[in-house]
Structure 1
Amino acid sequence: MKRRINKVAIVGSGIMGSGIACHFANIGVEVLLLDIVPRELTDKEKSKGLTLEDKVVRNRLVNDSLQASLKSKPSPIYSQSFASRINTGNLEDDIAKVSEVDWIIEVVVERLDIKKKVFEQLDNHRKKGTLISSNTSGIPIKLMSEGRSEDFQKHFCGTHFFNPVRYLRLFEIIPGPETSEEVLDFMNEYGEKFLGKKSVVAKDTAAFIGNRIGIFSIMSLFHMVEESGMTIEEVDKLTGPVIGRPKSATFRTVDVVGLDTLVHVANGLHEGVPNDEKHDFFALPNYIDSMMEKKWLGSKSGQGFYKKIKGDDGSSEILSLDLETLEYRAAKKASFATLEQTKSIDNVEDRFKVLVGGKDKAGEFYRKNFSALFAYVSNRIPEITDELYKIDDAMKAGFGWQHGPFQIWDAVGVEKGIEMMKAEGEKPAAWVKEMLESGSKSFYTVKEGNTYYYDIPKKEQVKVPGQDAFIILDNIRESKEVFKNSGVVVEDLGDGILNVEFRSKMNSIGGDVLDGLNRALDIAEKDYQGLVVANNGANFSVGANIGMIFMMAVEQEYDELNMAIKHFQDTMMRMRYSSIPTVAAPHAMSLGGGCELSLHADKVVAAAETYIGLVEFGVGVIPGGGGSKEMTLRASDTYHKDDVELNRLRENFLTIAMAKVSTSAYEAFDTNILQKGKDIVVVNPDRQLAIAKKHALIMAETGYTQPIERTDIKVLGKQALGTFYVGTDQMYAGKYISEHDKKIANKLAYVMAGGDLSDANYVSEQYLLDLEREAFLSLTGERKTLERLEHMIKKGKPLRN
């Protein structure tokens, strides 16, 4: 039977329930969100003369929860318009409606008695064959399904989403005693393909996989800090980006999540895993008990491990908690000689050997921390899972780790890791020694573009399942390399499609990247069918290399700068007018030049989490790589007879002038950066490159014809120019923009109006590119633009001057 999910019911509208509802709305599914009926009126409801029988009162809890979720930041929904896909109701008036849905997800309070009562109600109303699951983070699935009908138990399992649902990709699937294989297979595929998650099937053990390992990792650090006397700043320095973890590292992450949330799970584990060899690690250190008593829970209570205060002058300061005195003090800067040795190592994986070899306190910390982690994860197999890769997947998708524990161990060296553990009094599971004796010297290997893992029962390397839908550049870069320079690697993706992978710092676009892109186009036009521009970096591209622009401008090398800008423009035009189809696959930050590249591709296959926009105003210039021209062209293409053309041009002008950046790929359709009917969005980033390749191939195989350069772009001349100038005057007079902002906006207006033509006219792309380049160059001669460029280079954020 082919199962389809057109409508889901979410029971429980708290933070998790509303978050899950929003994510299903994100992918186009109709949602019924239910919660309990309030038992008493609020003062506001009383003043309005409402009663407990009024619908607005009966749905108050669910509606308030959903609205709070929709207003939260970061947003749980790709576009606020998607909220219309969510209908609300209550468990008394609307429970019969669950008979109309394809999947019911329970997200009520973590109490078995309450959950069982809810399931009894649902079992009476659901139609046979309807999927039903619980988002529990720890209650055994087998206990929740007891007493339910045979059909219920067959279609029931745990589906544990992580909060925030939109952003954390881990989706744990936990079968009950009677869950059918068909249901498990469907959940696994649906999680990956539709929800964009990393699906991991876990065993029905305490806290499953992600929280079992994640909470152990945090609690072991808590105890280590107590024993070593390290400061929270030192631990956060050592457990953040340097080892591929989020910037919030350990203590700041706990503040964001909430100490009470962590303590609840840790207490559950302390009670639920009495035979765990590290059982004592789940007991709370004294300072955590004290913080809980004082209700220092983190961001939600205004203070936790860190506390933000405001001075008399209005400035803010972050204080840190001294774990010995439990008093707040000024933050102390943490620095370690071992970390200095890793500054020149860009690849995080290559840092681990250096870090565990450190001779200072940092080296001791890593040896002790990793030894405990390696021993713990090896001893959790087969208790929580039979496959080691699932532990790595869970930690990467659920906790934001760049590398899972077994990948880190591989980077250190399996034998070196065992030596390290022995010195620290830790012991790995017996199967690790058996693995080495079997001839496998690492947990993972890469063969023919695929990742293999060590299968413990089989005692051999086995292909990680599910890779057929992915193209992993790390796995093919060396074997499929066609060309490379200091800025790019060009890989053969097979089937006549090439990929250009940016490899510059932060994937910025400089001369080497542009040269590489041109070379890739040369190769593709000669011997291939299509070209994709994609990478697996943290961000697609932060834009042009502004350091290079700044140096040229400071040295007043305007001829060289003019040539550099023209090189950028010409390369973008080659993307547009190549004889083979070009596809851009942006993700995460895709700013400035990264956005301009996407604007000029034949098609954009964007990850849902794409934050794309033309942000050049922030550094004192206008888009100079064809972005200003392209937004003018796109406005022209939307003009219709008797249309108010200026309104359409103004929309695109404001997209640039306000440096609008979409908070999702779907929002980029609203700013005209992405085009409806042409560009597409992919929810699972792992599948993005493979899908981009497919679209390049489809275009090639359906008779792609090289486009003809445009000479029919309608510009509005003085009509638009006068209106824009009046607008910038008013904004400046109202003190909404600075004098320099006004100057930049007027330069952009001149370009997008097509100059000061007396009447509307039709012009070529090259005409607009020349205007754009001239405006860009003139702005680089402005002192305030140089100040903005320098500030961005030094501080990493825009200057308002």
Structure 2
Amino acid sequence: MNRHINKVAVIGSGIMGSGIACHFANIGVQVLLLDIVPRELTEAEKAKGLTLEDKRVRNRLVNDSLTKALKSKPSPIYHKDMASRIQTGNLDDDIARVAEVDWIIEVVVERLDIKKQVFEKLDAHRTPGTLISSNTSGIPIRFMNEGRSDDFQKHFCGTHFFNPARYLKLFEIIPGPKTDPEVLEFLNSYGEKYLGKTSVVAKDTPAFIGNRIGIFSIMSLFHAVKEMGLTVEEVDKLTGPVIGRPKSATFRTVDVVGLDTLVHVANGIGENCPDDERKELFQLPEFIQTMFDNKWLGSKSGQGFYKKVSGKDGKSEILTLDLDSMDYRSRKKASFATLELTKSVDMVIDRFPILIGGKDKAGEFYRQTLGALFAYVSHRIPEITDALYKIDDAMKAGFGWEHGPFQIWDAVGLDKGIALAQEAGQEVAAWVNTMKDKGVNAFYEVREGATYFYDIDAGSVERKPGQDAFIILDNIRESKAVFKNSGVVVEDLGDGILNVEFRSKMNTIGGDVLAGLNTAVDMAEKDFRGLVVGNQAANFSVGANIGMIFMMAVEQEYDELNQAIKYFQDTMMRMRYSDIPVIAAPHGMCLGGGCELSLHADKVVAAAETYIGLVEFGVGVIPGGGGSKEMTLRASDTFQKNDVELNVLREYFLTIGTAKVSTSAYEAFDTGILQKGKDVVVVNKDRQIATAKAYASLLADQGYTRPVERTDVKVLGKQALGMFLVGTDSMQAGKYISDHDKKIANKLAWVMAGGDLSEASYVSERYLLDLEREAFLSLCTERKTLERIQHMLQKGKPLRN
């Protein structure tokens, strides 16, 4: 049957429930969010003369929870207007409304007795055939549907979102004893296609897949810390970005999630997995028990492994817990010789052979923890899943690991991984040796652009399912490359569409990237039908190579700098005015030059999690790669009869002048960086390149014709320039901006006004580009601009001078 999810009910409005409700609202679904009725009035309600029968009181818990969630940072909602899709109510007055929904998701407290009470009420009101699921993180599904109707049990399963629901991609689906396979198939597809998740069907075992492996990994580290005499800072240094894990690494992550949450899950695994060969690891080390008893739970209690305090000078300081004395002390810098050896290795996966070969404490740490991890995950098959790739998918999507355990094992080598397990006092599962005996020496391999994995049940290498909707650049980069230099790889995506993948550090845009873009356009015009500019790194691009700009400016090589900026501008115009459609596929950070590139594409296919903006003010310049020109052009196109044109232009000016960066792709429509009716957003980043390719092909099929360069851009001249100059004078006088901020803003004003033309006029794009480049170059001669660029290069954050 064809199922459609137009409305969901979320039962329970805590952090998790509100987060799930917001994410369904993000994708356009109507949400009914319900919670319990308060048992007593607050003092404020008493003062207002309210009673327990008042609707405001009865919905207080749900409304307060949702309001708190919407104010939280990072936001659970893509755009504030999307919150209107959420209606609130309570379980006494509004439970009958669940009959109207297509899916009911229970997110109440993790107590089986309470969940069963809630399900009994829901069973009495839900419409037969309605999906119903629990967001439990560990309670067995088979216990929760006991006593329920046959239709309930047929349509019931676990659907475990990870917190925060918007940002973490793992979506575990756990069948109950009577769950209809059609339900599992639907949810698996819906999670990936609509919710933008990595859907993983797990078995009904304690903590399922993600938490079973993730909590083991953390508990293993907890025990290793004391055994090896490591500090909190040292462990977070070893378990962060250097191995492809989040910046919060281990201890900071526990502080954010809450030590009580971790202890709850660890205790659940320890109590409910009597046959786990490493069950002793789920016993809390003494220092964890002490912290738990003292309620040092992390951010929620004000202190955990880290503690923020205010000094006598009023400045805040982050203290670290000393695991020996259990007192807080100033933070110490952690460094290891082994980590220094990986600094020149850009690909995280290539670092692991170096890390396990270290001769210091870091090398010992990696050998011990990875060996234990390899052994543990091998023994979890077939207990928690039958397919090894599901473990890797779960760890990447739920815990933010760049590579899963079996991928890391492949990186160090099958035999070496077995040896590491043995050095850690463990043995791998028998199936690993069986695989080796069959002559299969890796868990994964790539064939013709597709990933294959070792299927334990089949005893052979099989194609990983679910890849048809994806284009994975890692899988095609070598076999489908048609051009490469140090900055880009150009791949043939098939069907006449090329892709330009940035490969520079942080995907910055320098000379090699610009040369690659020009070459790709040339190739596409000659032998192909369209071009996509996209990559699958953490960020699309953090902007132009400001290091190169800084060196030219310091050496006063202004002619060379002028040519470099013109080359950037000309490349953007080449993309805009080519014979083939060009599609930009931004995601993550898309700043400065990366944003300018997107502004000049025929169409933008943005990932929902795209943080895009023109941030050049932060380094003392204006957008010089066509961004200032393009925002002026877009303001001109927005002018309508009877509009106050100055107000329209000012909004576009402020987008640049305040260095606005959207917190989602949807917010970028408000700033004019993305255009309604033209640009599109995809929720699942894994589908982005394939979607961009489809749009490039569609435009080509429709008979794409090169656009005509614009000569009809309306600029407002002295009228606009006067407005801007008065505004910057006021801002400076009020101490809102510095003298240098004013100088930068006035340069931008000159460009966007079209200079000091005596009246509103129509000018060409080339005219505006010349103004833009002149302004950019003049700012590069300013000492304070050079100070800002240098500070950004050295500190990674803006300087206000």
TM class by smaller structure: over 0.9
Residues in 2 aligned to 1:749 and 1:341: alpha-carbon distance in whole angstroms: 48
**Counterpart residue number, 1:465:** 465
**Counterpart residue number, 1:336:** 336
Q: Tell me the CA shift for residue 357 of structure 1.
A: 1.0
Residues in 2 aligned to 1:319 and 1:20: alpha-carbon distance in whole angstroms: 34
**Counterpart residue number, 1:409:** 409
**Counterpart residue number, 1:187:** 187
**Counterpart residue number, 1:400:** 400
Alignment of 1:463-502 (within 5 A): 463-502=463-502
Alignment of 1:756-767 (within 5 A): 756-767=756-767
**Counterpart residue number, 1:662:** 662
Extract unaligned runs of 5+ from structure 1: none
Q: Tell me the CA shift for residue 332 of structure 1.
A: 1.6
**Counterpart residue number, 2:790:** 790
Residues in 1 aligned to 2:31 and 2:123: alpha-carbon distance in whole angstroms: 19
State the SS of the aligned residue for 2:499.
strand
Residues in 1 aligned to 2:312 and 2:334: alpha-carbon distance in whole angstroms: 27
Residues in 1 aligned to 2:117 and 2:360: alpha-carbon distance in whole angstroms: 56
Residues in 2 aligned to 1:118 and 1:335: alpha-carbon distance in whole angstroms: 52
State the SS of the aligned residue for 2:454.
strand
One-letter code aligned to 1:157: C
1:440 aligns with 2:440: yes
**Counterpart residue number, 1:703:** 703
1:111 aligns with 2:117: no
One-letter code aligned to 1:216: F
Alignment of 1:577-592 (within 5 A): 577-592=577-592
Residues in 2 aligned to 1:135 and 1:293: alpha-carbon distance in whole angstroms: 28
Residues in 2 aligned to 1:312 and 1:750: alpha-carbon distance in whole angstroms: 46
What do the CA deviations read for 1:174-199 (whole angstroms, capped 9, x no partner)?
Answer: 00011111100000000000000000
Alignment of 1:322-471 (within 5 A): 322-471=322-471
**Counterpart residue number, 1:233:** 233
What do the CA deviations read for 1:598-655 (whole angstroms, capped 9, x no partner)?
Answer: 0000000000000000000000000000000000000111111111111111110000
**Counterpart residue number, 1:171:** 171
**Counterpart residue number, 2:612:** 612
Superposition RMSD on alpha carbons, in Å?
0.6
One-letter code aligned to 2:45: E
Q: Tell me the CA shift for residue 314 of structure 1.
A: 2.1
One-letter code aligned to 2:344: S
One-letter code aligned to 2:97: K
Q: Which moved more, 1:768-777 or 1:311-320?
A: 311-320
Residue identity (%): 78
One-letter code aligned to 1:81: D
Q: Tell me the CA shift for residue 315 of structure 1.
A: 2.2
1:151 aligns with 2:151: yes
One-letter code aligned to 2:435: M
**Counterpart residue number, 1:243:** 243
What do the CA deviations read for 1:82-138 (whole angstroms, capped 9, x no partner)?
Answer: 000000000011111100000000000111111111111111111111000000001
Residues in 2 aligned to 1:439 and 1:124: alpha-carbon distance in whole angstroms: 56
Residues in 1 aligned to 2:199 and 2:612: alpha-carbon distance in whole angstroms: 27
State the SS of the aligned residue for 2:655.
helix
Residues in 2 aligned to 1:574 and 1:479: alpha-carbon distance in whole angstroms: 28
State the SS of the aligned residue for 2:452.
strand
One-letter code aligned to 1:519: T
Q: Tell me the CA shift for residue 433 of structure 1.
A: 0.3
One-letter code aligned to 1:757: L
One-letter code aligned to 1:39: R
Q: Is 2:368–2:423's contact at 8 Å kept on the other side of the alignment?
A: no
**Counterpart residue number, 2:686:** 686
State the SS of the aligned residue for 1:489.
strand
Residues in 1 aligned to 2:324 and 2:783: alpha-carbon distance in whole angstroms: 51
Residues in 1 aligned to 2:741 and 2:439: alpha-carbon distance in whole angstroms: 65
Q: Which moved more, 1:607-616 or 1:272-281?
A: 272-281
**Counterpart residue number, 2:204:** 204
What do the CA deviations read for 1:650-689 (whole angstroms, capped 9, x no partner)?
Answer: 1100000000000000000001000000000000000000
One-letter code aligned to 1:748: L
TM-score by length of 1: 1.00
Query: Which 4+ residue blocks in structure 1 deviate beyond 3 angstroms?
Result: none
State the SS of the aligned residue for 1:560.
helix
What do the CA deviations read for 1:761-792 (whole angstroms, capped 9, x no partner)?
Answer: 10000000000000000000111101001100
State the SS of the aligned residue for 2:264.
helix
**Counterpart residue number, 1:59:** 59
Q: Tell me the CA shift for residue 340 of structure 1.
A: 1.0
**Counterpart residue number, 1:42:** 42
Q: Which moved more, 1:96-105 or 1:330-339?
A: 330-339
TM-score by length of 2: 1.00
Q: Which moved more, 1:311-320 or 1:209-218?
A: 311-320
Q: Tell me the CA shift for residue 576 of structure 1.
A: 0.5
Q: Tell me the CA shift for residue 269 of structure 1.
A: 1.0
What do the CA deviations read for 1:739-764 (whole angstroms, capped 9, x no partner)?
Answer: 10011001101100111111101000
Q: Tell me the CA shift for residue 300 of structure 1.
A: 1.2
One-letter code aligned to 2:494: G
Residues in 2 aligned to 1:371 and 1:735: alpha-carbon distance in whole angstroms: 58
What do the CA deviations read for 1:668-723 (whole angstroms, capped 9, x no partner)?
Answer: 00010000000000000000000000000000001111100000110011111111
What do the CA deviations read for 1:129-153 (whole angstroms, capped 9, x no partner)?
Answer: 1000000001110111111111111
1:120 aligns with 2:120: yes
Q: Is 2:610–2:662's contact at 8 Å kept on the other side of the alignment?
A: yes
Residues in 1 aligned to 2:618 and 2:659: alpha-carbon distance in whole angstroms: 7
One-letter code aligned to 1:535: N
Alignment of 1:212-223 (within 5 A): 212-223=212-223
One-letter code aligned to 1:308: K
State the SS of the aligned residue for 2:625.
coil
One-letter code aligned to 1:433: N
Residues in 2 aligned to 1:56 and 1:698: alpha-carbon distance in whole angstroms: 51
Alignment of 1:600-679 (within 5 A): 600-679=600-679
State the SS of the aligned residue for 2:646.
helix
**Counterpart residue number, 1:781:** 781
Q: Tell me the CA shift for residue 316 of structure 1.
A: 2.4
Residues in 1 aligned to 2:288 and 2:226: alpha-carbon distance in whole angstroms: 10
Residues in 2 aligned to 1:47 and 1:74: alpha-carbon distance in whole angstroms: 34
One-letter code aligned to 2:128: K
Residues in 2 aligned to 1:41 and 1:424: alpha-carbon distance in whole angstroms: 57
1:744 aligns with 2:744: yes
State the SS of the aligned residue for 1:469.
coil
State the SS of the aligned residue for 2:18.
helix
**Count of aligned pairs between the two proteins:** 801
Q: Is 2:576–2:601's contact at 8 Å kept on the other side of the alignment?
A: yes
What do the CA deviations read for 1:390-431 (whole angstroms, capped 9, x no partner)?
Answer: 000000000000000000000010111111222221100000
**Counterpart residue number, 1:298:** 298
Q: Which moved more, 1:49-58 or 1:307-316?
A: 307-316
One-letter code aligned to 2:657: A
Residues in 2 aligned to 1:640 and 1:211: alpha-carbon distance in whole angstroms: 55
Residues in 2 aligned to 1:742 and 1:12: alpha-carbon distance in whole angstroms: 50
State the SS of the aligned residue for 1:164.
coil
State the SS of the aligned residue for 1:116.
helix
Residues in 2 aligned to 1:794 and 1:456: alpha-carbon distance in whole angstroms: 49
One-letter code aligned to 2:638: T
Q: Tell me the CA shift for residue 306 of structure 1.
A: 1.0
Q: Tell me the CA shift for residue 313 of structure 1.
A: 1.5
Residues in 2 aligned to 1:421 and 1:547: alpha-carbon distance in whole angstroms: 44
One-letter code aligned to 2:80: Q
**Counterpart residue number, 1:283:** 283
1:85 aligns with 2:72: no
**Counterpart residue number, 1:134:** 134
Residues in 2 aligned to 1:126 and 1:99: alpha-carbon distance in whole angstroms: 5
